[in-house]
């Protein structure tokens, strides 16, 4: 599901899924597990055993924001998860994960936007640039009933700045 909120957060946390079937047991990053709307790598003869969430490094913080028409029980128009690991001085970004929801067929890592932040001192201009890059990476479906292509891209930019 493109707006799968829990999956999106787990992708940002670098979670993996462990599955088992006749070919044995396999573990894959959750980021690669989703292959399309309502589709996964799970084969008909496999079972999902567990979701593994690694321990996060010190100075790691995360946030999630959802934009929807009616609130928390409604499907998202756009949702964004940001997980950042800061340097011990809390000024430089050691690592960043930005995952966009409801703007692609699966939860989408905004890897180019992450690169904008990694290894740099965080300030307003840098956040604005990363937000624009995240918007550029979004691939919303044309004709969505929950928001136009242009609206969703703009909301990615706005909500990324708010993170």
User: Where along the chain do its domains lie?
Assistant: 5-52, 60-162
- Answer yes or no: is pLDDT of 14 > 90: yes
Distance CA 103, CA 141 (A): 7
Domain spanning 60-162, CATH class? alpha beta
pTM equals 0.89
Task: Provide CB contacts within 8 A for 5, sequence distance 6+.
Answer: 64, 66, 76, 79, 101
pLDDT at residue 73, as a whole number: 60
- If one looks up domain 5-52 in CATH, what number appears? 3.30.465.10
What would the pLDDT profile of 112-125 be if each residue is shown by its tens digit?
A: 999 999 999 999 99
Give residue-wise pLDDT tens across range 37-82: 889 999 999 999 999 999 999 999 999 998 877 655 677 788 999 9
Sign of CA dihedral 146, 83, 135, 111: negative
């Amino acid at each position: 599901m493109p707006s799968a909120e829990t999956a999106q957060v787990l992708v940002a946390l670098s979670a993996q899924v462990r599955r088992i079937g006749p070919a044995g047991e396999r573990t894959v990053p959750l980021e690669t597990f989703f292959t399309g709307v309502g589709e996964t790598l799970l084969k008909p003869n496999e079972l999902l055993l567990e979701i593994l969430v690694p321990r996060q490094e010190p100075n790691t913080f995360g946030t999630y924001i959802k934009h929807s028409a009616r609130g928390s029980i409604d499907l998202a128009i756009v949702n964004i998860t940001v997980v950042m690991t800061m340097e011990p001085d809390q000024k430089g970004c050691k690592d960043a994960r930005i995952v966009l929801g409801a703007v692609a067929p699966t939860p989408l890592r905004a890897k180019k936007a992450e690169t904008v932040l990694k290894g740099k001192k965080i300030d307003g201009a840098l956040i604005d640039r990363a937000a624009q890059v995240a918007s550029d990476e979004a691939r919303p479906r044309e004709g969505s009933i929950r928001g136009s292509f242009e609206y969703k891209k703009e909301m990615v930019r706005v909500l990324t700045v708010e993170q």
